[in-house]
Amino acid sequence: MENPNASQTTLDQMTSKVRTFPCVSCGAKLSFQPGSKTLKCPYCAASNDIPESDETVEELDLNTWLTKLEAEHETHEQENIKCSNCGGAQTLAANMFATSCTFCGTPITSKSYAQRLIKPKALVPFKVTKLQAQDKWRNWIKGLWLAPSALKKFVQSDGGIKGIYIPYWTYDANTYTNYTGQRGDDYTERYETTNSNGERVTQSRTQTRWTGVSGNVSYFHDDVLVPASKTAYGASGATGGAALNNIPVLNMFGSNNLRNWNTKEIVPYQDEYITGFQAEAYQIDLKEGFVAAKQIIDNKVEQLICADIGGDHQRIGSVNTQYSHLTFKHILLPMWVSAYLFSGKTYRFVVNGQTGEVQGESPKSGWKIFFLVMGILAVLFIFLVLFGGKHR
């Protein structure tokens, strides 16, 4: 079983300080270019290659780390920091560990974050650019046919979108499950009855025959993703003065549209991928994350049991699941996050920085909803008029 302290030495070296990267051509500060493996200079357009990392992305033993964390008390508080480049002072929110200087754009990181026992060891680099993310959001809005017409004109503006790396836990587990239950097989039964005219007629109905079953299923659950963020700070400056600071967005992170990550594209953590973006520290710890992962795993086990039972219907009685080979990784996933103000109310949205999928909130047009309801009622009325009389 691995020693957590041995792995942590490497993690400290990777994330204790976010470095700046001057352009090899003109010396200007660089930012990571989404969808590439380079740092592109915004001034002279020179491409600065990101060197290949010698690090490997390891799975860490879950039980070892849970035991270690029980004896420790981790804290990460709001921090007043000063830029090493221009000397500008600013406040770094408690849930952020990396950002850029408000005054000169130099990448900066939290000093207190270095005290955390678990730091991100891998990430999925941004593939979707800022302009692409804005276009994805605008197309998403245009596809919402219940949204007010004025909103579709409004989305031509910049939604104050910002790129943030969101912390996630990934969990691996082997499960072996013994179960009991019932299998339901449908069959057709014919019977005689009297119709409305007093005539004897033969009709059919579907019945279900239940039989007791038992069995076992096993499965390897690979990279079960659990968001470790509760809020998305730092995405302020949205249109109309709206801000996303301190607005809970966990529900959006956990939605189906933002679960479609390809974790096979993760790379070892390197400062180059972070520079020019913000990065969150985890707010949901390893133990809390596993509780959520276990729910996902248990749901998958239930699906496996139903498939194993077969038939037309399934009833699950007892379930006894054994977990083994529990491991985890702490990774960062890219998202474009923002909020916009429309008719005095703030609406949030996020864009998956790997796939471009959009999840968010939008206003609804009262008039469009009214006409939709009236249209449905009209269709029902016509249906009753045309077909209701035929059954009299």
Is the Cβ–Cβ distance between 110 and 76 less than 8 Å? Answer: yes
Share of the chain above pLDDT 90, in %: 31
Residue 361 has pLDDT above 80, yes or no: no
Q: How far apart are the first and last CA of the chain?
A: 78
Q: What angle do CA 291, 328, 224 make, to 5 degrees?
A: 60
Which tops the pLDDT comparison, 277 or 12?
277
**Strands 96-100 and 267-268, how do they pair?**
unpaired
Alpha-carbon distances, residue 30 vs 13, 35, 132, 161, 353 (angstroms): 21, 15, 20, 19, 19
Q: Determine the pLDDT at residue 274.
A: 84
pTM, whole model, 2 decimals? 0.74
Q: Determine the pLDDT at residue 233.
A: 34
Instruction: Provide the Cα torsion 370, 372, 373, 375; round to 10°.
Output: 120
Q: Work out the pLDDT band at 197, boundaries 50, 70, 90.
A: confident
Residue 326 has pLDDT above 70, yes or no: yes
Measured distance CA(389)–CA(185) in Å, rounded:
38
Q: Which of 9-13, 26-30, 169-173, 199-203 has the lowest mean pLDDT?
A: 9-13
Residue 109 has pLDDT above 90, yes or no: no
Question: What is the arithmetic mean of pLDDT over 226-245?
Answer: 49
Question: Per this entry, what is the length of the chain?
Answer: 392
pLDDT tens for residues 239-273? 333 333 333 444 445 444 456 788 889 999 888 88
Question: What is the arithmetic mean of pLDDT over 332-355?
Answer: 82
Q: Determine the pLDDT at residue 339.
A: 72
Q: Determine the pLDDT at residue 143.
A: 72
| Count of beta carbons in the 10 Å neighbourhood of residue 342 | 18
Is the Cβ–Cβ distance between 151 and 142 less than 8 Å? Answer: no
How far is residue 67 CA from its own chain's centroid?
27
35-42 long-range contacts (CB < 8 A, ≥24 apart) are: 35/126, 35/127, 35/128, 35/129, 39/272, 39/275
| Count of beta carbons in the 10 Å neighbourhood of residue 381 | 11
Question: What is the arithmetic mean of pLDDT over 285-310?
Answer: 95
Residue 332 has pLDDT above 90, yes or no: yes
Q: Work out the pLDDT band at 16, boundaries 50, 70, 90.
A: very low
Q: Which of 7-11, 138-142, 264-268, 332-336 has the lowest mean pLDDT?
A: 7-11
Residue 309 has pLDDT above 70, yes or no: yes
pLDDT tens for residues 151-170? 655 555 555 688 899 999 99
63 closest CA partner among 281, 229, 321, 286: 286
Please report which residue ranges of the chain form alpha helices under DSSP H: 4-15, 62-70, 130-142, 149-154, 250-253, 271-274, 286-309, 366-388
Q: Which of 111-125, 158-172, 191-205, 282-296 has the lowest mean pLDDT?
A: 111-125
Residue 106 has pLDDT above 50, yes or no: yes
